[in-house]
């Protein structure tokens, strides 16, 4: 059985992304061990001041599973000033301003290393970075997990609308910030945007990671059979998920759920 801490085979490389304003960002690239990737996910994590990091659980599971199960390359990194078990990136959290250079550095790395079919995968704060800074020529489209739509402005949505690039928002039924009905109204500004309400899910996707991964793969690698397998007949190692438990449950713990 594939469990929360299961690590399936892949080629994994620790990275240092260099930003245009001179910072070094801690990152990792995981690609399929036995074939070329069919698509690439560049992961933009939740708010670092509330526990978000490159090792947030959906991104960790994506990197540990998707290269083997779906042939997808997963590039994840810590934005400026963010720490995780992987290490700490240079600089300091800049409230979604200087982070534009972080997004650019990750996309440029994927482009210059000939990674195919580049998609941005944002989660919470990462969706704001995606909407504000991610509509680059090299980017095929965007997938948004739990988008708050607090920092992204109408002008940012208009850029995506004009681009006609695919945008999918995966919105938990019980999200703390934006729920499916309101999300459909807000994302109407992007005519091609698809809003998918996920029954029973909350902002942090605890207990719903597999559904999130299936929906992500459905968009970026439509030829892969779904749902993704729950078992793996081959080599498997295990990560120490306990190292992240406090970061998962602490994130947004101060936000009441109405």
Q: Which domain holds residue 27?
A: 6-250
Tokens of 211: 């559904």
Does the structure show a pLDDT above 70 at 244?
Answer: no
pLDDT digits (tens, 9 = 90+) for 170-211: 999 999 999 999 999 999 999 999 999 999 999 999 999 999
Is 256 within a domain? no
Q: How far is it, in rounded angstroms, from Cα 192 to Cα 173?
A: 21
pLDDT at 258: 34
Is 42 within a domain? yes
pLDDT at 254: 38
pLDDT at 253: 41
Helix (H, G, I), strand (E, B) or coil at 127: helix
Does the structure show a pLDDT above 80 at 245?
Answer: no
Does the structure show a pLDDT above 50 at 249?
Answer: no
Q: Is the model more confident about 133 or about 242?
A: 133
**Maximum C-alpha span of the chain:** 48
The residue-averaged pLDDT of 90-104 equals: 98
- Four-residue CA torsion sign, 23, 27, 32, 37: negative
The residue-averaged pLDDT of 52-60 equals: 96
Is 14 within a domain? yes
Q: How many domains does the chain have?
A: 1
Confidence of residue 103 (pLDDT cuts 50, 70, 90): very high
Q: Is the model more confident about 168 or about 247?
A: 168
Confidence of residue 240 (pLDDT cuts 50, 70, 90): confident
pLDDT at 257: 37
pLDDT at 72: 98
Is 72 within a domain? yes
Q: Please, are residues 233 and 7 in contact by the beta-carbon 8 Å criterion?
A: no
Is 257 within a domain? no
Is 1 within a domain? no
Is 41 within a domain? yes
Confidence of residue 68 (pLDDT cuts 50, 70, 90): very high
pLDDT at 246: 56
Q: Please, are residues 251 and 204 in contact by the beta-carbon 8 Å criterion?
A: yes
Please tell me the total number of residues recorded for the chain in this structure: 258
pLDDT at 32: 98
pLDDT at 247: 55
CATH code, domain with 40? 3.40.50.1820
The residue-averaged pLDDT of 141-168 equals: 97
Confidence of residue 27 (pLDDT cuts 50, 70, 90): very high
Q: Please, are residues 25 and 16 in contact by the beta-carbon 8 Å criterion?
A: yes
Is 103 within a domain? yes
Does the structure show a pLDDT above 80 at 59?
Answer: yes
């Amino acid at each position: 059985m594939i469990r929360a801490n299961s690590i399936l085979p892949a080629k994994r490389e620790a990275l240092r992304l260099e930003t245009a304003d001179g910072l070094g960002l801690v990152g990792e690239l995981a690609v399929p061990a036995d074939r070329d990737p069919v698509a690439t996910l560049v992961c933009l994590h939740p708010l670092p001041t509330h526990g978000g990091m490159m090792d947030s659980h959906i991104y960790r599971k994506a990197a540990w599973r998707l290269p083997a199960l779906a042939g997808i390359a997963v590039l994840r990194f810590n934005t400026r000033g963010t720490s995780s078990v992987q290490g700490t990136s240079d600089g300091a959290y800049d409230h979604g301003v200087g982070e534009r250079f972080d997004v650019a550095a990750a996309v440029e790395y994927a482009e210059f290393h000939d990674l195919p079919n580049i998609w941005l995968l944002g989660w919470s704060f990462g969706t704001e970075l995606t909407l504000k800074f991610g509509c680059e020529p090299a980017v095929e489209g965007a997938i948004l997990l739990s988008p708050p739509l607090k920092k992204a402005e109408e002008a940012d949505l208009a850029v995506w609308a004009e681009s006609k690039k695919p945008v999918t928002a995966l919105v938990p039924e019980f999200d703390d910030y934006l729920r499916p009905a309101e999300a459909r109204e807000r994302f109407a500004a992007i005519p091609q945007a698809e809003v998918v309400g996920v029954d029973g899910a909350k902002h942090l996707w605890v207990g719903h990671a597999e559904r999130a991964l299936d929906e992500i793969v459905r968009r970026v690698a439509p030829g892969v059979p779904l749902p993704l397998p729950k078992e793996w007949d081959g080599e498997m190692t295990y990560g120490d998920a306990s190292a992240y438990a406090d970061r998962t449950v602490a994130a947004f713990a101060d936000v009441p759920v109405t």
